[in-house]
Structure 1
Amino acid sequence: MACSADVRILFSVGPGYGLMLPIVPLIWAARIAGHEVLVATTAEMPDVGARAGLPVVDVFPEHDVWDALLRGITSEGDSPEIERVAAATGLSEAYEKVSQAGNPFGLFTLTMTEGTIDAGRAFGADLVVHTTDHVAGRLAAAALGVPVLEVGNRISWSSRDEKFRNGRNLYDDDDVTLALRDKLGIPGGPPRVIARIDPRAPSMGGLVADEPDPLDGIPWWSMRFVPFNGGVVVPEWALRRPERPRVGVTLGTVVPIMSGTSNLSAVIEALGGMDVEVVLAAGKADLADLGTLPENVRSAGFLPLSTFLPTASLMVHHGGSGTTAAPLHYGVPQLVLPAFADNPMSAERVVARGVGLSHDPATVDAATVRAMAERLLTEPAFRAAAREVSEEMATQPSPSSIIERVVPLVGA
């Protein structure tokens, strides 16, 4: 194995923006510290990682597993695309069981594990870093016989939370992992886990101090969330402080595909009638249904949130984990219209901490959005709470300090 000053670290990451982007600062930290890194992912994420200056390997090339997942969720009945992708692994029966159990992430495990193992072996990995929701990384570490650093990439929940554990060990096998162990000859049992990372601020449910996991004694470490939303040529207007309150609006990358942009209608109508400057960061979403945008709305397409959040007074969004965490980092109040998955949990955390408000997007109207936005812009308690969380996050260990801490333990 390499010495502690030259560790080869394989980062195993799921194929979605919300799964990949939160871990990029940790990968940068490892590279800056002088370690060799390789990111194992697929779908659009190899391009995203490469644009972030990272060495990336596509572990399931010629198939867009993320697109297959979305097609399976949005279409009625069985998805031919999912069946085709699952068949490419030779484990369609295992995926069918996982599909029936409502575990779409099983598709990532099935399609990405073998390629991740092959990449890690060719790379000579000494350590695997994987996100909590990405089982392919855990199985790859077991196959390679190397330790693991497990990193939470959610600001709304962690596998520390009792309701997500249900009394089960985090490494219990299901039909997919058992089938993969059999097919690929992966040894039974979990890899050695050096630590698990919780990126939440203590007042948002995170760690106050290191603590052992109650099920297996593995230590939990806190880590500061550092926002990364991609690179961009920063527009000149974003660098200037606006003359009136700047309000950011986004639905992320998944909601427009799953539900369209109808939720934006009430938001744009409400904000269009207020004395604010609106930055609509809608990516590639089709905005035709919104009609002609009000004069105070700037349609910015794809624009990383960190570009304009330092000068923003409010962020309106769908409750994605990274989208919730970025305003916390900058001390900006939030209005959350939660969509699905863990979005409602993000909204619950925001409201409970007093950093924002939330409303069901299915029943919200322009008058309600306007009333909530006016509260968030004028009542100082929301801004004060958001700044408290931002200051709290700044005291958490940085990604660089996590790398410094874990590397000496790799060969222990």
Structure 2
Amino acid sequence: MRVLIAGLANYGHIYPLMPVAVACRDAGHDVIFAIGEELLPLVRSAGFTGHRVAASLEWGWTEAIRRRPELSSAGELAIAPVAAEILAERVMRDLLPVLARERPDVVLHEPYCPGAALAARLAGVPVVSHIQGRSLPARMHDAISGHLDRLWREHGGTADLPDWRAQTFLDFWPPSLQPDPPVVELVDRHPVRPVAWSGRTDRMPGWVPGDRDKPLVYLVFSTVFDLDDAVLDAVLRGVAALDADVLAVVGSRHDRVAPRLPGNVRVERFVAQAQVLPHADLVVCHGGSGVFLGALSAGLPQLVIPSGADQFSNADDLVRVGAGMRMMPGEVTSSGVTEAVAALTGSPAYRQAARAIAREIAAMPAPADLVPVLGELAGAVAVESL
């Protein structure tokens, strides 16, 4: 079986796909990636073939504002549908010739990349979507359905555009975090365990696994929906005031913030999150699906400060199940962060709730268990074509 995996070139969109990619390769199947050039080195360093297709979500937003300058004052959720239109069109244009050359048996894509599903259907290839958030993809599809229908017909689609809800889905949200009622009814949904993944060049700081007499707080925020400098500074001051060791991952702002922090806060640009989480006691983050589910898989309570996309609903769910706290960016003060983290580390109830979710996650099917689902789809289409 040949599997083509398509996604936008953002870490939070590609890392969740990697465990399934590795499981397919370990089972002896061919795996090809089609993503933006920004992350081609990542997939190639992991031993996969990569084709340049589309770009990053950041590019989509920048291009949307270039075409419609009035969007510059809109929030992320207002820009998202326009960016999705632009990205879907570029994905289709770039991916169709790749599909013609590589002739995959199945296409697996992340749901913020609907252009991949359109291109695959036009090429007669079965499609699987890997769910990475609860509600935003449904809102996005509803907002751009007319644009997707136009793309479908411009590229040769004759019958009505297939309903995206009817395709096969892999869903790594544990049972307790599933919305009731569902945000959208899915006909063919398969649970899959979220598994943390790190690239070959990702590193864990050498001091992290050492013995310590203080809790380790892991602080990380989104590379896409980032906190502004003032809010990040308040968060850093808040965790610095704790009697704790702090690993703060701040990306490109490393050189600005690192010299201003006390010795109990060690600052890194990027780390191997999958290796760090087993050593942490608490996570302060934005609530993106990767770190959100990674922390829960490790049974860690969280303080979530959401700033975009599905991070708000993730934070709400965290509070609902009792595994952490939520603080909106406009509510952040350094003293508030200090108090919240102290409460999370001081009360065993939060850790107990997080560990209950960790047990649910551990009981979910492993990525290797979902490889036959892809094989059945590929086989069914092969039989139909005879």
Residues 115-154 of structure 1: pairs in structure 2 closer than 5 A: 115-154=94-133
| 2:68 matches 1:68 | no
Residues 121-200 of structure 1: pairs in structure 2 closer than 5 A: 121-154=100-133, 156-157=134-135, 164=138, 174-188=145-159, 189-190=161-162, 195-200=168-173
Q: Report SS of the residue matched to 1:298.
A: strand
Q: Which runs of 5+ in 1 are unaligned?
A: 1-6, 81-98
Q: Structure 1 residues 353, 399: closer, same or farther in 2, change over 3 A? A: same
- 1:149: how far off? 1.6
Q: Which residue does 1:90 correspond to in 2?
A: none
8 Å CA contact 2:171–2:192 kept in 1: the answer is yes
Pick from 247, 260, 280 the counterpart of residue 279 of structure 1. Answer: 247
Q: Report SS of the residue matched to 1:285.
A: helix
Q: Deviations over 1:29-57 (max 9, x none)?
A: 11111111111111412222223322110
Q: Deviations over 1:260-288 (max 9, x none)?
A: 33222222212212210000111222552
Q: Which residue does 1:219 correspond to in 2?
A: 188
Pick from 243, 250, 253 the counterpart of residue 213 of structure 2. Answer: 243
8 Å CA contact 2:205–2:271 kept in 1: the answer is no
Moved more, 192-201 or 313-322: 192-201
Find the aligned partners of 2:258 and 2:21 in 1 and give their Cα distance. 39
Letter aligned with residue 217 of structure 2? V
Letter aligned with residue 410 of structure 1? A
Pick from 11, 21, 24 the counterpart of residue 27 of structure 1. Answer: 21
Pick from 1, 9, 33 the counterpart of residue 15 of structure 1. Answer: 9
Letter aligned with residue 10 of structure 2? G
Q: Deviations over 1:232-274 (max 9, x none)?
A: 2333212224321000111121234xx4332222222122122
Find the aligned partners of 1:262 and 1:326 in 2 and give their Cα distance. 27
Q: Structure 1 residues 242, 79: closer, same or farther in 2, change over 3 A? A: farther
Residues 9-408 of structure 1: pairs in structure 2 closer than 5 A: 9-60=3-54, 64-72=55-63, 78=69, 102-154=81-133, 156-157=134-135, 164=138, 174-188=145-159, 189-190=161-162, 195-205=168-178, 214=185, 218-231=187-200, 232-256=202-226, 259-285=227-253, 288=256, 292-408=260-376
Find the aligned partners of 1:66 and 1:350 in 2 and give their Cα distance. 26
Q: Structure 1 residues 396, 25: closer, same or farther in 2, change over 3 A? A: same
Q: Which residue does 1:84 correspond to in 2?
A: none
- 1:376: how far off? 0.5
Q: Deviations over 1:100-138 (max 9, x none)?
A: 894321221011112212111211111111222221121
- 1:214: how far off? 4.7
Q: Structure 1 residues 27, 206: closer, same or farther in 2, change over 3 A? A: farther
8 Å CA contact 1:238–1:307 kept in 2: the answer is no
Find the aligned partners of 1:172 and 1:70 in 2 and give their Cα distance. 16
Letter aligned with residue 404 of structure 1? P
Q: Report SS of the residue matched to 2:307.
A: coil
- 1:386: how far off? 0.8
Q: Report SS of the residue matched to 1:132.
A: coil
- 1:406: how far off? 2.9
Q: Report SS of the residue matched to 2:8.
A: coil
Q: Structure 1 residues 281, 119: closer, same or farther in 2, change over 3 A? A: same
Moved more, 242-251 or 47-56: 47-56
8 Å CA contact 1:139–1:186 kept in 2: the answer is no
Q: Report SS of the residue matched to 2:82.
A: coil
- 1:322: how far off? 1.2
Find the aligned partners of 1:187 and 1:404 in 2 and give their Cα distance. 31
8 Å CA contact 2:81–2:143 kept in 1: the answer is no
Q: Report SS of the residue matched to 1:410.
A: helix
User: What is the percent sequence identity of the aligned residues?
Assistant: 26
Q: How does the TM-score come out when normalised to structure 1? A: 0.81
Corresponding residue pairs, total = 370
8 Å CA contact 2:254–2:267 kept in 1: the answer is no
8 Å CA contact 2:61–2:80 kept in 1: the answer is no
- 1:172: how far off? 10
Q: Structure 1 residues 214, 243: closer, same or farther in 2, change over 3 A? A: closer
- 1:368: how far off? 1.0
Q: CA RMSD in A?
A: 3.0
Letter aligned with residue 198 of structure 1? D
